[in-house]
Amino acid sequence: MQSVKFSSTTIDAPLLQSLEALGYTEMTPIQAKSIPLILAGNDVIAQAKTGSGKTVAFGVGLLSNLDASLYETQALVLCPTRELADQVSKAIRRLASFMPNIKLLTLCGGVPLRHQLASLDQHAPHIVVGTPGRIKDHLKRNSLNLKTLRILVLDEADRMLDMGFEDEISYVVARTSTEKQTLLFSATYPDTIQAMSQHLQRSPIEISVDEVHDHGQIEQFFYSAEEHQKPQALVALLAKYQPESTVIFCNTKYSCQIVDEWLTEQGYAVLTLNGDLEQRERDQVLLRFANKSCSILVATDVAARGLDIKDLSAVMVYELSHDPEVHVHRIGRTGRAGQKGLAFSLCASNEMERAKAISAYQKTPLAWDKFNAAKIPRNTSLKPEMVTLVIDGGRKEKIRATDILGALTGDAGLLGSDVGKIDIYDVRTYVAIKRASANTALSRLQEGKIKGRKLRIRALG
């Protein structure tokens, strides 16, 4: 497919400015196929896997259709998980950075309702991103009104159906405007998605993009390892390849716990992501991994979709999935945007049929390799490059990234290169600092002030 530039479309100038600032010049295949249809007002059903650029596609569409002068909810994005909702919210905020006075609110479970109700009481958000259950809660409370909705997006619709959200989605849709535009994005296209489309959409145009992950950028290796050998195999591979950042996928929370405890005993910096964590804990886990304050993230498949971590060095599959497509989603977290990646999969003898299914699905023979647990080098615990500091102050105190950077490079005496990602939330700010400078930064900030105020500051981990 011939490349299409964003500048060749009818996208408004502020959006083009944001796209250019974000480094987006040429559209991905799903963007080139869907954006003109979305801008023309069509209902669209799009089959596109994670990493295809679909968030930018529907983000451009819904922002193009907003009237910022009207304080009413005009766009709703439903997501299957809190992680994906948070990621989508951040992506849309970045796209709207040159569009003044746009209010976006993320409504997911795991966060006290009172904070969300307080924000909804101020004035209606132009855009809501959330999970079906929490959106339904707000509709039942009459704290959210969707009668003025112009565009509804169902992101990863197949995943929402898999998780049993059909009733919640029906409840939400029944309380929206009948004149709205509906966009349905799904990684797979089972009969249930077709049925959902027929129920929700009007004469939708179907588009499909198959070429999502360039697996040629990912070196894949399979290793024979029985269950009792797998922990040692992980350490052997981490020691051999020394990846800067690794996601290890397990099928169960119990396996995650085993992997976490084993690697922690070996001196690795490990965090675990599963469905039992509260929202704040989940946010902190993902944030610390993304800002390089932790080298290894152990996760169940709750993190397989919607997990967007740039420059992920390696993926390790501790247990093979029963579904070959889930395996492809897992390894597709690495080797993105033209980068090279590594994918290591451990296979016990009772998982061999799963390995054969993966080979058939990928239409390529598997590359088998061997690990040598007897030759594990010592002192290879992959110390993270950064340390995360938490500041008890955020957007509500009008704190900006420049305030933090100024305090660190001014009073604290750090170099700009010592400071990594700065993530500002409503009441907290997280700052990644190079490990060698972390203690200095912490003590100086605790002694000094930010925007003229003393704030509580501590290190995570």
118, part of any domain: yes
pLDDT level of residue 212 (50, 70, 90 thresholds) = very low
Backbone angles phi, psi at 289, to 5 degrees: -70, -45
Q: Do 219 and 180 share a structural domain?
A: no
Q: Which of 153, 175, 208 is the last residue of a domain?
A: 208
Q: What is the pLDDT of residues 38-87, one digit of tens each?
A: 999 999 999 876 667 899 999 999 999 999 999 999 999 999 888 789 88
82, part of any domain: yes
Residues 6+ positions from 456 with CB-CB distance below 8 Å? 391, 392
Q: Do 236 and 98 share a structural domain?
A: no
Res 109 pLDDT > 50? yes
Residue 416's pLDDT is 82
Stated pTM of the model: 0.66
Q: Which tokens in the block code for residue 64?
A: 């193009």
298, part of any domain: yes
pLDDT level of residue 131 (50, 70, 90 thresholds) = very high
1, part of any domain: no
Q: Do 437 and 347 share a structural domain?
A: no
Q: Do 246 and 184 share a structural domain?
A: no
380, part of any domain: no
Q: Do 166 and 35 share a structural domain?
A: yes
Q: Do 369 and 401 share a structural domain?
A: no
405, part of any domain: yes
Residue 5's pLDDT is 84
Domain with residue 371: its CATH number is 3.40.50.300
381, part of any domain: no
Q: What is the pLDDT of residues 355-406, one digit of tens each?
A: 999 999 888 899 999 887 666 665 566 788 899 999 998 888 888 888 888 8
3-state secondary structure the chain: CCCCEHHHCCCCHHHHHHHHHCCCCECCHHHHHHHHHHHCCCCEEEECCCCCCHHHHHHHHHHHCCCCCCCCCCEEEECCCHHHHHHHHHHHHHHCCCCCCCCEEEECCCCCHHHHHHHHHHCCCCEEEECHHHHHHHHHHCCCCCCCCCEEEECCHHHHHHCCCHHHHHHHHCCCCCCCEEEEEECCCCHHHHHHHHHHCCCCEEEECCCCCCHHHEEEEEEECCHHHHHHHHHHHHHHHCCCCEEEECCCHHHHHHHHHHHHHCCCCEEEECCCCCHHHHHHHHHHHHCCCCCEEEECHHHCCCCCCCCCCEEEECCCCCCHHHHHHHHCCCCCCCCCEEEEEEECHHHHHHHHHHHHHHCCCCCEECCCHHHCCCCCCCCCCEEEEEECCCHHHCCCHHHHHHHHHCCCCCCHHHEEEEEECCCCEEEEEEHHHHHHHHHHHHHCCECCECCCEEECC
Res 210 pLDDT > 80? no
- Tell me the C-alpha to C-alpha distance, in Å, between residue 371 and each of 224, 237, 238, 345: 9, 7, 11, 12
Q: What is the pLDDT of residues 432-449, one digit of tens each?
A: 999 998 998 888 888 888
Residues 116-133 have a mean pLDDT of 92
Q: Which of 375, 404, 439 is the last residue of a domain?
A: 375
Q: Do 167 and 110 share a structural domain?
A: yes
* Residue 97: CB atoms within 10 Å: 14
Residues 236-262 have a mean pLDDT of 92
Structural domain count of the chain: 3
Q: Do 155 and 24 share a structural domain?
A: yes
Q: How far is CA 276 from the centre of its chain?
A: 18
Range with the lowest mean pLDDT among 182-186, 187-191, 336-340? 336-340
Q: Do 415 and 366 share a structural domain?
A: no
Q: On the CB side of 141, how many CA atoms lie within 13 Å of its CA?
A: 14
Domain with residue 392: its CATH number is 3.30.70.330
Q: Which of 375, 403, 421 is the last residue of a domain?
A: 375
Q: Do 243 and 176 share a structural domain?
A: no
Q: Do 43 and 179 share a structural domain?
A: yes
Q: What is the pLDDT of residues 29-44, one digit of tens each?
A: 899 999 999 999 999 9
Res 252 pLDDT > 80? yes
* Residue 253: CB atoms within 10 Å: 14
To the nearest whole percent, how much of the chain has pLDDT over 70? 92
303, part of any domain: yes
**How high is the mean pLDDT of the chain?**
87
* Containing structural domain, residue 394: 386-459
Residue 213's pLDDT is 47
Residue 50's pLDDT is 65
Q: Do 452 and 306 share a structural domain?
A: no
